[in-house]
Amino acid sequence: MTVQNNFVKPIDVSNGIEFGIYSLGDLMVNPHNNTIISEKQRLKEIIEIAKMAEQAGIDVFDVGESHQDYFVSQAQSVILSAIVQETKKIKIVSSATLVSVHDPVMLWEDFATLDLLSDSRVELVAGRASRLGAFELLGYHFKDYEELFDEKFELLQKLNHEEYVTWSGKFRASLNNAHILPRPNNGHLQIWRAVGGPAASAIAAGASGTPMVLAHLSGPATYYKKTIDTYRASAKKSGYDATSLPITTGGFFYTADTTQKAMQEYYPHIANGFKLSNGHEFPKAAFAQAIDPRNVINVGEPELIIDKLTYQHELFGMQRYMAQIDMGGVSFDNIKRNIDLIGTKILPEVKKRTRALK
């Protein structure tokens, strides 16, 4: 028997897929002019980017979380709260919240409060942490990487399902009929699971009927379809209606008047950003493949990006796409230019081409 997950809110694509912008909150030197802005200015710019995105008609704005050098997104929920107060319509999403290193009860309290303040515009994406510095910093051991996430994510979902919770685990004190407050406007939050490379994460997300956020870096889009197919097969095997579970995809995005200009401007940011945060540059050969309409890197002139997103939607059937336009010290002026091109040229056509038949 096929079942619906009553704690999942479907995304209406009758007018086209949702389009969003996400920021990891990195703070890095602009490789084109070797300058860097202050932490204060970067935080204020993130809030301004969200406001500009809303004005451009963009549907969603995401902020990531990181606890290491070259980032300002340590206090993720504080940043999200500031954005909530400065916007009115745009959905505000954590992408991702590092559930493994937080107390799920406190996370719930923060995001349920954000839900109330935002009139239910806030969503939570749970992630395991691709950067491992947070484990030692916040008092956890990397050897517990899998167990920490599994236990804490299970508890977070239980808090979402039940107002009075009894629970016990390995990494947190037990709960005995604990009254979990506040409660969101609609009684529960939209909680997603972030998935990177391992198929096991996609299988687990599908098995629990949890919406999936799939981050992609480079390569042919067909490679990532395997993960999406695995997720849907797992959901179906567990009895869920896989077609009703939302999927978000997201990755590098940058646009300019010509594809050559977009590639030349954005690659130094990607190379520099990867070197600082991951210890190695992003391969230039892999980035060069972005000119292929079937490649998952959405960098190029507006017409190329429209074709790419249309192709990816036909392949993936995702309901939401998230664009990372600010990695590695991209200037505020170039971010603004990107948002203008998205709002005036890219978004209307992508909406039109991905509109579901009524």
Q: What is the pLDDT of residues 224-276, one digit of tens each?
A: 999 999 999 999 999 999 999 999 999 999 999 999 999 999 999 999 999 99
Return the axis-axis angle of helices 199-207 and 221-237, rounded to nearest 10°: 40
Where do the structural domains in the chain lie, given as residue ranges?
A: 18-353
Q: Has residue 126 got a pLDDT over 50?
A: yes
User: According to the model, what pLDDT value does residue 358 have?
Assistant: 46
Given this model, what pLDDT does residue 69 score?
Answer: 94
By CB atoms closer than 10 A (0-12, 13-18, 19+), residue 22 is buried
The neighbouring-strand residues paired with 179 are: 164
pLDDT value of residue 357: 63
Q: What's the whole-number mean pLDDT along residues 155-164?
A: 97
Q: What SS3 class is residue 146? A: helix
Which residue is it, tokens 């506040």?
182
Q: What is the reported pLDDT for 4?
A: 63
**Residue 78: its pLDDT value, please?**
98
Which fold would CATH assign to domain 18-353?
Answer: TIM Barrel (3.20.20)
Decide if 46 contacts 325 (C-beta within 8 A).
no
Fill in the DSSP letter of residue 319.
S
Full-model pTM: 0.96
Average pLDDT, the chain: 95
Q: What is the CA radius of gyration of the chain?
A: 20
The CA-to-CA distance between both ends of the chain, in Å, stands at: 26
Q: State mean pLDDT over 162-185.
A: 97
Residue 196 has pLDDT above 80, yes or no: yes
What is the per-residue pLDDT across 30-89, written as a single tens digit (0 to 9) for each?
999 999 999 999 999 999 999 999 999 999 999 999 999 999 999 999 999 999 999 999
The CA-based angle 154-156-159, given to 5 degrees, is 110
